[in-house]
Amino acid sequence: MDIILASGSPRRRELLSRAQLEFTIISVDIDETPYRDESPKDYIVRMVVAKAEAATAKLNTQSKNNEAQAPKSLPSQPIILLTSDTIGVLPDGKTVLVKPSNREDAYHMWQQMSDNTHEVWTAVQATKLLLQPKHPNQADSERILKVINQQQILERTEVTFVALTKEMMSEYWDSGEPADKAGGYGIQGLGAAWVSRINGSYTNVVGLPLAQTLALIKDMNNTATL
């Protein structure tokens, strides 16, 4: 069964490649701004759903326009579309740490994480798609990808930081690494020096809980369609 990863994250691509999976990549662009008073769980679930909807719409548009990016011209067998989103959550269980918008935003987050334990949450959705008639009652109807099954997982990992100084924060921001990462750090890079302890999945903190995602894909392959 073909797998499509709807993500621009090089870290997620690398993790799936380590598992020797064959997959196609499609990028999507959605508004990732949290709603006012939105809980972390509601936010992250909304993100993976929105990414899946955007990716499905893009695949259907590409197929209609015969674009080269459409994976294998959308095969008649089911496709598994993977979407994922990672956030940090402060100990209050309410404050969402997304990608920092600027230096000041990053400092504000890091000061709350300094010498403290936060959680990293990653939601993964597997959506099974199949080419079906757009209008079932019309024999010559255009065929489009439709959702025939979907499942989600949500993984949490506790991460404890050392006490951070202004000099540490300044040097790290100037490295350029924090800008595109939830919580403003990368545990697989220079940010590892800030992490004194983790409790849970390491790959989850990188951006994709690999073992859990592989189990999700296997389950979707073995599950009958709706």
Start-end of H helices in 90-224: 103-113, 166-175, 202-206, 210-222
Secondary structure class of 18 (helix, strand, coil)? helix
Angle between helix 166-175 and 103-113 (nearest 10): 130
Check residue 81 and give its pLDDT.
97
pTM, whole model, 2 decimals?
0.87
pLDDT in tens, 47-71: 999 999 999 999 998 877 664 444 4
Please indicate whether residue 42 is annotated as part of the active site.
no
pLDDT of residue 73: 53
Within a 13 Å sphere around the CA of 193, how many CA atoms are in the beta-carbon half? 9
Residues of the chain with pLDDT under 50: 67-72
Residue type at 222 in one-letter notation: N
In angstroms, rounded to a whole number, what is the distance separating the alpha carbons of residues 224 and 226? 7
Domains contained in the chain, CATH given: 2-222 (3.90.950.10)
Nearest to 113 by CA among 78, 136, 148, 88: 88
List 2, 42, 85, 180, catalytic entry: 85
